Structure 1
Amino acid sequence: MTLQAMTSAYLMWLLFIAVYDFRQRRVPNWLVLAGAFLALVALTLGMGPVKHDWAAALLGAGVAFGFLVFFYALGVMGAGDVKFAGALGLWVGFSALLPVWLIGSLLASLHAVLWLILRRWPVSPRFSLAPFGPSPPTDGSPSPTRVRFIPYAAYLALAAAVWMVWGRQSA
């Protein structure tokens, strides 16, 4: 396996995560595990798209998972987002976490602001909100299942791809 093939696998994994999270508002375990497995293979072969060692990869995975599990415990983030962040930490290592988190959080914040603006849009708010997934109940009643409105894993995946293109060039 070549470095180009491993980089392609990494970018395809990010694409699958983003598409799945945007469409389903969840990240399946099999997809997270596949990415984590590929990251471990890349580390073992020394062919990761981001050059770092095992210590940086494990620290990145632990910090990403540990930081986001706090938000999961508060009920504002899904478990798939947390697990994906841990697997992503294996790929990018500790040093790239901050730029990826910043870009991903900025994108997720823009999503939330746009959702709030369109929700109040007087011309067919249901149509304008269609790309943003299901709407929460407006009468204050709890929904039978928790609905995630912001696909955070998708935005982290996009941020990681952006960092691969622009962040590595400046490093």
Structure 2
Amino acid sequence: MEALLLLWLLFAVVYDFRQRRVPNWLVLAGAVMALAALAIGEAPFGQDWTSALLGAAVGFGFLLIFHLIGLMGAGDVKFAGALGLWVGLSALAPIWIISSVLAAMHGLLWLALQRWPMSPRLALFLFGQPISSDGKTSTRRTRFIPYAAYLATATAVWMVWGRQSL
């Protein structure tokens, strides 16, 4: 089941970086696969039903606050809920910390490119919009950090290195 989880995470990274959205079908597929893994006793993080359902509720509920105040897209929130099913409650905190550090680095790079546009192609990749020669970005998108992609990346990192310390 770890291979399915990694494949799902990879799809999330690609979609979120390229389109700055996580499609509902991808969130639903991840949730269904997580429930199937739980049903057959093959959850990659070894969590039980209670931990998985709490992880989904906390993942969704906590990020919902950020969505409601306009700081995060709905796809990121739904993705966090489905991710909580996969990883359970205990792994959410380290995954959030890692993903938040990555998102903060993304934001700092955005600020640096605002002041000194080194590469329009880099800006297009990172932010989904070009930075003009005067250093201004278009205001058509307010959510330029692909947080679901960073949640997915942090989960893969936690799968490889984080569980070794437990």
With normalisation by structure 1, the TM-score equals 0.88
| Aligned alpha-carbon RMSD (Å) | 2.1
Mapped pair 1:115 → 2:106:
no
| Runs of 4+ in structure 1 over 3 Å off | 125-128, 135-143
Aligned counterparts, 1:11-160, within 5 A: 11-121=6-116, 126-132=120-126, 133-134=128-129, 143=140, 146-160=141-155
Distance of aligned partners of 1:122 and 1:96 in 2 relative to their CA distance in 1, 3 Å threshold: closer
Aligned length: 163
1:24-69 Cα shifts (integer Å, max 9, x gaps): 0000000000000000000000001110110000000000100000
| Distance apart, 1:115 and its partner CA | 1.0
Aligned partner of residue 42 in structure 2, secondary structure: coil
Distance of aligned partners of 1:135 and 1:66 in 2 relative to their CA distance in 1, 3 Å threshold: farther
1:127-146 Cα shifts (integer Å, max 9, x gaps): 44122211599989963xx4
| Distance apart, 1:73 and its partner CA | 0.3
Aligned to 1:3: none
Task: Give the distance between the partners of 1:141 and 1:21, measured in 2 at CA.
Answer: 19
Aligned partner of residue 134 in structure 1, secondary structure: coil
1:72-91 Cα shifts (integer Å, max 9, x gaps): 00011000000000000000
Instruction: Report if aligned partners of 1:118, 1:128 keep a CA contact under 8 Å in 2.
Output: no
Moved more, 126-135 or 107-116: 126-135
Identity %: 63
Instruction: Report if aligned partners of 1:18, 1:157 keep a CA contact under 8 Å in 2.
Output: yes
Aligned partner of residue 90 in structure 2, secondary structure: coil
Task: Give the distance between the partners of 1:73 and 1:13, measured in 2 at CA.
Answer: 26
Instruction: Report if aligned partners of 1:36, 1:88 keep a CA contact under 8 Å in 2.
Output: yes
2:125 corresponds to which letter in structure 1? P
* 5+ long unaligned stretches in structure 2: none
